Amino acid sequence: MSNRDIIHHLRQVYGTELSPATVSAITDAVLEEVKAWQTRPLDPVYAVVFLDAIVVKVRDNQVVQNKPAYVAIGVDADGEKHVLGIWLARTPPESATAGEGARFWGSVTADLRNRGVRDILIACVDGLAGFADAVTAAFPATVVQRCVVHLIRNSLRPVARRDAGEVAKELRKIYASPTAEAAFDALAAFAASPWGKKYPQAVRVWEQAWDDFTPFLAFSPPVRKLPCTTNSIVISSLN
């Protein structure tokens, strides 16, 4: 965030007015604490870790540009959420390849391990090629769960807006199934239905991600809500 962004946020949220010089002095003062936070030791075990990237505007050499920020949020043994780290990539998102993204995630998981993490029960990720390998290279025993919300969005992408509600209702039968076997039957039924025949691309999204989608179906319904998406805002809307 630029000083102007910080000033605007403080004014809008807290009604506080600060000068650019004051904001600059404060950010300089906490810089060492930020560095210490970035390298702090972590717990040895996390029940679930959400890994996702968001695009942020960064001022670099007096130029503001979009850059991906890689974020890891962990749920500890007591059920508390913690931001484990935020890593900024140099490559702009529009020019980054899938391979570059997967390699960067590999450096993120290596950093988590170097800071003390020894095991992650479930890692919730999106569909980036090579993402699962980047996780299991550092944590071989981790169950990698594909973000269900990403799957739903991707499968609805080719669907006409007028049909989206009905197709989404049919897709729910897949990810809300009681078992992996029942989910497979639901996918087969959707593929054979008029909607599946009209939108075969939606069927292929689930078929291609099947092995990474089904792990969370082994858990009870209350537990499933936790690892089904990398988006904490979406988690709240599912409750």
Q: How many CB atoms lie within 10 A of CB 89?
A: 17
> Dihedral of the CA atoms 208, 211, 216, 217 (nearest 10)?
90
User: What is the 3 state secondary structure string of 148-179?
Assistant: HHHHHHHHHCCCCHHHHHHHHHHHHHHHCCCC
Helix (H, G, I), strand (E, B) or coil at 76: coil
Token digits of residue 63:
């130029």
* Predicted local distance difference test score (pLDDT) of residue 233: 33
* Predicted local distance difference test score (pLDDT) of residue 237: 33
Taking the C-alpha atoms of residue 27 and residue 178, their distance in angstroms, rounded to an integer, is: 50
Token digits of residue 64:
């503001």
* Predicted local distance difference test score (pLDDT) of residue 236: 36
The identity of residue 179, as a single letter, is T
pLDDT tens for the 239 residues of the chain, in order: 778 888 988 999 899 999 989 998 988 888 889 889 999 999 999 999 999 888 877 777 777 788 888 899 999 989 899 999 999 877 655 555 656 788 899 999 999 999 999 999 999 998 888 888 999 999 999 999 888 888 999 999 999 999 999 999 999 999 999 999 999 999 999 999 999 999 999 999 999 999 889 988 888 877 777 666 665 533 433 33
Taking the C-alpha atoms of residue 51 and residue 122, their distance in angstroms, rounded to an integer, is: 11
Helix, strand, coil % (nearest 5) of the chain?
55, 20, 25
User: What is the reported pTM?
Assistant: 0.76
Q: Tell the residue number behind the tokens 């599946």, with chain if given.
A: 196
Dihedral of CA 41/102/144/155: which sign? positive
- Distance, first Cα to last Cα, the chain: 32
Residues in the chain: 239
Quick one: residue 226, left, alpha or beta (phi over 0 = left, psi -120 to 50 = alpha)? alpha
Domains defined along the chain, listed by start? 1-38 (no CATH), 42-145 (3.30.420), 148-238 (no CATH)
- β-pairing, 119-125 vs 45-60, is parallel
